[in-house]
Amino acid sequence: MHTVPLGKSDLQVPRLGVGVMTWGDPTGWARWNPAQLAYGGAHGIEEERRALEASIAAGVTLFDTAPMYSNGASERRLGELAQGRDILIATKFPPNPFSRTGAMPRALEASLTRLGRTSVDLYQHHFPSNQVSIPDLMNLMADAVEAGKVKAVGVSNYSAQQMRVAHAALAQRGIPLASNQVEYSLLHRQPETNGVLDTCYELGVTLIAYQPLASGALTGKYTAGARPTGLRRWMPYFRGKGLEAAAPVVALLREIGARYAKTPAQVALRWLIENESVLPIPGAKNGKQAADNAGTLSFGLTPDEVEALDQATRAWRA
Ligand SMILES: NC(=O)c1ccc[n+]([C@@H]2O[C@H](COP(=O)([O-])OP(=O)(O)OC[C@H]3O[C@@H](n4cnc5c(N)ncnc54)[C@H](OP(=O)(O)O)[C@@H]3O)[C@@H](O)[C@H]2O)c1
C-alpha cells in the first residue's frame, strides 16, 4: 500500500483514513444529545469489526477518533477492535469549555487507557478555545512526543493564523505541525477560500478532511424525499433546499463514476485525494461502506473531471 508522510513528520500514512466517530455505544451520545443517536444507532460491534477489517485489507490503516465521540466509547471500541492489529490511531485533546491547557497530559493518559495503548500516532487539539494557549499547549504536545507517547502532532478546526502560531511554537522544539483536520468536501470548500489550504501548502502541513462525504449527502442515497433522521436533519446539507442544491453535483458524480464503475462516494473522495496535501477520513459504519470508501484508492480522475467537479461546486467555496 502506498503511504506518504503526514505533513513533514516521520509518520507514514495511507492517502485515506477512516473516521470512527459513530463507533462504540451510541447511547454515549444519547446521554447529552439524544438527537445524535440516529447518526450512529444503526450498527453494532460486528459491523464495526467488519469495517475495520475491510479497511485494513485495503491498506486503509489510519483511524480517527476523539474522547468526545460517545463520551469515550468510540476510543474504547477502537482500542478493543484494534487489539493485536497494526494500525495507526489518531485521537484528540478534548474541546470542552473546561479543557484548560494544563489538562492535556491527563487527557492524553485517559485516551491511552481507553485505547489500550502506550502511545498514539497522531494527537490533535480538537478545537481552539480561549481557555487554551496555543503555544503552551504545543509545548505540552512536544513534551508528549519526547516522552514517546505521541508520534505526530496535529490540530483541528484551526484557522490559518492559529496554524501559524502552533507551527511556530512546535518549530522551537524541532517538531513539525503534521496536520490540520477541518471540514472539507465538494459541498464545503471554505478551506480553499479562508487561507487554511494555502497555509497547509506553505507550511507543509497535511489537511485532514473531515465529513468528506458531507455526512452522506454526497453518497446519493439521500434526497429531498428521503432525508436522514437524527442529528443530520439539522445540518445544512439536509435542511431546507440543501439536498436539492446538491442534486446536480451528485448527478455529475454518478456520470463520472459510471466511466470507472465507481460510486458517487468514491468519486467525491477521489476529488479530494487528487490533491496530494489532502487526506480524507470518511466515516464508515460497516464493511460495505468501508470497502466502498477504500475503493477510491484504485482509480484516478482526469484533470478535466477534476475541473468539472470544481466548476460544479464553486458555490460551496463561499
Ligand atoms: N475534527 C472535528 O471537529 C470533526 C467533526 C466531525 C467529524 N470528524 C471526523 O470525520 C469523520 C467523518 O465524518 P462524518 O462521519 O461525520 O461524515 P462523512 O464521512 O462525510 O459521512 C459518513 C457517513 O456517510 C455514510 N457513508 C459512509 N460511507 C458510505 C458509502 N460508501 N456509501 C454510502 N454511505 C456511506 C454513513 O452514514 P449513513 O449510512 O447513516 O448514511 C457514514 O456515517 C468522523 O468519524 C470523525 O472522525 C471530525
Active site residue 39: no
Query: What are the grid coordinates assigned to 103, written together?
Result: 489538562
212: closest CA among 296, 158, 268, 252? Answer: 268
Q: List, for residues 275-311, the tens digit of each pLDDT value.
A: 999 999 999 999 999 999 999 999 999 999 999 999 9
How far is the C-alpha of 62 from the C-alpha of 9, rounded, in Å? Answer: 15
Say what the pTM is.
0.97
Confirm whether 263 is domain-assigned: no
Q: How far is the CA of 171 from the centre of ligand 1 (A)?
A: 32
Confirm whether 244 is domain-assigned: no
Confirm whether 299 is domain-assigned: no
Q: Which of 23, 70, 215 to mutate to test the pocket of ligand 1 (most atoms within 8 A of CB)?
A: 215
Confirm whether 315 is domain-assigned: no
Query: Which of the four pLDDT bands, split at 50, 70 and 90, describes residue 1?
Result: confident
For 71, other C-beta atoms within 10 Å of its C-beta total 17
Q: List, for residues 176-209, the tens digit of each pLDDT value.
A: 999 999 999 999 999 999 999 999 999 999 999 9
For 206, other C-beta atoms within 10 Å of its C-beta total 26
The number of residues in the chain equals: 318
Confirm whether 183 is domain-assigned: yes
How far is the C-alpha of 103 from the C-alpha of 81, rounded, in Å? Answer: 28
Confirm whether 187 is domain-assigned: yes
Q: List, for residues 153-168, the tens digit of each pLDDT value.
A: 999 999 999 999 999 9
Q: How far is the CA of 290 from the centre of ligand 1 (A)?
A: 11
63 in Cβ contact with 89 (< 8 Å): yes
Judged by DSSP in three states, 267 sits in helix
Query: Which of the four pLDDT bands, split at 50, 70 and 90, describes residue 218?
Result: very high
Total count of domains within the chain: 1
Pairing status of strand 62-64 against strand 3-5: unpaired
How much is the pLDDT for 255?
98
**What residues contact residue 305 under an 8 Å CB cut-off, 6+ apart?**
256
How far is the C-alpha of 240 from the C-alpha of 270, rounded, in Å? Answer: 28
102 in Cβ contact with 134 (< 8 Å): no
Nearest CA to ligand 1 atom 48: 210
Confirm whether 149 is domain-assigned: yes
Stated as kind and residue range, the H or E segment containing 213 is none
**75 vs 81, 208, 266, CA distance in Å?**
10, 19, 26
Identify the domain containing residue 210 by its residue range: 3-216+275-286
292 CA: nearest ligand 1 atom: 31
How far is the C-alpha of 191 from the C-alpha of 210, rounded, in Å? Answer: 12
Q: What CATH number is given to the structural domain containing 54?
A: 3.20.20.100
How much is the pLDDT for 76?
96
Confirm whether 268 is domain-assigned: no
Nearest CA to ligand 1 atom 11: 19
